[in-house]
C-alpha cells in the first residue's frame, strides 16, 4: 500500500461521537465547552472565516442600553454566569481575553442627565449606574457630561476564538472544512460523511437561514461594520459610548463601531458604513484620526431580539443554538449551559428562547 493509499484509507475510518457541533464562533465554542464538561465526545466542524460575526465582534457587554437607559434583558442572571465562565476558560486556555471595565457614556442632552439621575435612585439600577464626570480627556467632546456604567466587561473575541480553536485542535476534535448539508443523513443517528453521531447542533451564525432544517426561523440579519483607527492625540484607556463604541487597543489605536445595515448581507465594508462611523466618531473626538483597518460581518439577529435554541420539531436529534445578534458574549454561556441541561437532564427551555415560538412559521411553510 502506498503512502497516499494509506492516507485515503485513514480518511475513511469511521468516527463516532455524541455530538457534532457545526460552527466555532462564540456560540459553538461555548457550547462545546459545556458539553465537554459533561464528558461528552464531540466533534466541531468549522472552516475559519475572518469575517464571521464572532471574529469581528466588538465584544463589549453593556448592561444599560438605549436612550431610556434600561437594563438589558436578563442581565442580572446572565452577567455573573458569563464572568465566571470566561474566567474558567482563561485558566483552561492559558490566555487572557476577558476584562471587566466600566463604560463611559457620553450624554447627548440634558434629558439624558435627568434620566440618569432618576435611575440612579432606583434600587434596581444602583449597582449599574455610577457617578457623572465632566471629562476624561481633553479631546473627548462631552458637552453634557459622562455617566459611568458599572458591571460592564469587554472580551477580545478573536483572541478567544483562536485560543479555543487551538484547544480543539490539540484535543483532535476539530475538523476544518465547510459543512456540506447535502452530506448529512438523519435517522435515529446522524451520519455525516464518515462521522456517526447521536446528535448534531447547528451553531452556524447567519448561515442558518440557508439550512433546510431551520430555514423556517425568521432571522433578521444585520451587517455590522467596525474599524480600527489611529488617534495620535487621544490618550484614553476607557471604553467610551455614544451610539458607537470607542475601545482602546495599543499605541493610540482604537476599535470603533459598529453599524447596523439591514439590506445588505455581503461581508464587505460599505461607503455608507464608513460615513456613518465617521460622522458619529467626529462628534465624540475633536482631533484628527486615521482609519487603518476595516471589517464587516453579518450578525444572526432575531426579530424579537432573543436567541433561538432547542430541538427540531420533526428530528429529535437535530438542534439549533443561534440568534445571539450583538449579545453573544453575555448570553452564550448562560444559554449554552441551559441547552446542555435540557439535552442531558430534560430541563425545560425558557419560552423566550425556545425554537417552539417559531413553529407557526414551519406550519405555514
What 3 state SS string does 253-319 have?
EEEEECCCECCCCCCCCCHHHHHHHHHHHHCCECCCCEEEEEEEEEECCECCCCCEEEEECCEEEEE
Closest CA to 242 of 271, 273, 277: 277
Which pLDDT score is estimated for 52?
78
Which pLDDT score is estimated for 27?
97
55: pLDDT strictly greater than 80: no
Query: Which range is least confidently modeled, 181-185, 221-225, 238-242?
Result: 221-225
Which pLDDT score is estimated for 334?
98
- Per the CB < 8 A criterion, the answer to whether 115 and 69 are in contact is yes
Query: Which range is least confidently modeled, 93-97, 150-154, 298-302?
Result: 298-302
Note the pLDDT tens digit of each residue in 294-325: 999 999 999 899 999 999 999 999 999 999 99
Note the pLDDT tens digit of each residue in 263-287: 788 889 999 999 999 999 999 999 9
Which pLDDT score is estimated for 8?
52
Cell (9 digits) for 324: 445571539
Strands 70-71 and 64-65: antiparallel
Closest CA to 65 of 74, 57, 56: 74
d(CA 265, CA 120): 40
Which pLDDT score is estimated for 54?
76
Which pLDDT score is estimated for 6?
43
Which pLDDT score is estimated for 231?
97
Across the range 113-126, mean pLDDT stands at 96
- Per the CB < 8 A criterion, the answer to whether 291 and 298 are in contact is no
Across the range 137-166, mean pLDDT stands at 96
| Helix ranges, the chain (H) | 3-11, 26-37, 53-56, 75-93, 110-119, 157-170, 271-282, 328-345, 359-364
Across the range 35-64, mean pLDDT stands at 90
Which pLDDT score is estimated for 58?
83
Tell me the average pLDDT of the chain.
Answer: 93
d(CA 65, CA 86): 22
104: pLDDT strictly greater than 80: yes
Percent of the chain with pLDDT over 90: 86
* Residue 282: CA count within 13 A, CB half-sphere: 9
Which pLDDT score is estimated for 5?
46
Cell (9 digits) for 137: 480627556
Note the pLDDT tens digit of each residue in 131-142: 999 999 999 999
Which pLDDT score is estimated for 7?
47
Closest CA to 249 of 234, 270, 269: 234
Per-residue confidence band for 364, with pLDDT thresholds at 50, 70 and 90 = low
Amino acid at each position: 500500500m502506498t503512502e497516499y493509499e494509506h492516507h485515503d484509507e485513514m480518511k475513511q475510518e469511521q468516527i463516532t461521537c455524541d455530538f457534532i457541533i457545526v460552527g466555532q464562533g462564540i456560540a459553538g465554542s461555548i457550547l462545546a465547552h459545556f458539553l465537554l464538561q459533561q464528558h461528552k465526545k464531540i466533534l466541531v466542524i468549522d472552516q475559519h472565516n475572518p469575517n464571521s460575526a464572532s471574529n469581528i465582534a466588538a465584544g463589549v457587554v453593556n448592561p444599560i442600553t438605549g436612550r431610556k437607559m434600561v437594563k438589558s434583558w436578563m442581565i442580572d442572571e446572565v452577567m455573573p454566569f458569563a464572568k465566571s465562565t470566561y474566567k474558567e476558560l482563561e485558566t483552561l486556555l492559558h490566555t487572557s481575553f476577558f476584562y471587566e471595565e466600566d463604560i463611559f457614556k457620553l450624554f447627548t442632552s440634558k434629558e439624558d442627565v435627568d434620566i440618569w439621575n432618576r435611575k440612579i435612585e432606583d434600587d434596581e439600577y444602583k449597582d449599574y449606574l455610577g457617578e457623572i464626570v465632566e471629562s476624561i480627556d481633553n479631546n473627548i467632546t462631552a458637552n453634557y457630561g459622562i455617566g459611568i456604567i458599572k458591571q460592564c466587561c469587554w472580551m477580545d473575541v478573536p483572541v478567544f476564538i483562536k485560543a479555543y480553536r487551538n484547544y480543539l485542535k490539540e484535543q483532535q476534535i476539530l475538523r476544518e472544512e465547510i459543512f456540506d448539508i447535502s452530506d448529512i443523513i438523519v435517522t435515529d443517528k446522524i451520519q455525516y460523511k464518515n462521522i456517526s453521531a447521536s446528535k448534531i447542533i447547528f451553531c452556524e451564525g447567519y448561515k442558518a437561514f440557508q439550512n433546510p432544517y431551520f430555514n423556517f426561523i425568521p432571522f433578521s440579519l444585520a451587517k455590522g461594520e467596525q474599524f480600527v483607527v489611529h488617534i495620535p492625540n487621544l490618550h484614553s484607556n476607557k471604553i467610551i459610548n455614544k451610539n458607537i463604541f470607542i475601545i482602546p487597543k495599543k499605541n493610540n489605536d482604537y476599535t470603533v463601531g459598529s453599524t447596523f445595515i439591514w439590506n445588505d448581507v455581503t461581508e464587505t465594508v460599505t461607503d455608507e458604513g464608513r460615513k456613518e462611523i465617521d460622522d458619529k466618531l467626529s462628534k465624540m473626538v475633536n482631533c484628527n484620526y486615521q482609519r487603518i483597518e476595516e471589517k464587516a460581518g453579518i450578525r444572526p439577529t432575531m426579530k424579537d431580539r432573543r436567541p433561538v435554541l432547542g430541538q427540531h420539531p420533526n428530528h429529535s436529534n437535530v438542534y439549533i443554538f443561534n440568534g445571539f445578534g450583538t449579545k453573544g458574549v453575555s448570553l452564550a454561556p448562560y444559554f449554552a449551559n441551559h441547552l446542555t441541561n435540557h439535552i442531558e437532564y430534560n430541563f425545560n427551555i425558557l419560552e423566550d428562547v425556545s425554537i417552539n415560538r417559531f413553529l407557526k412559521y414551519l406550519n405555514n411553510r
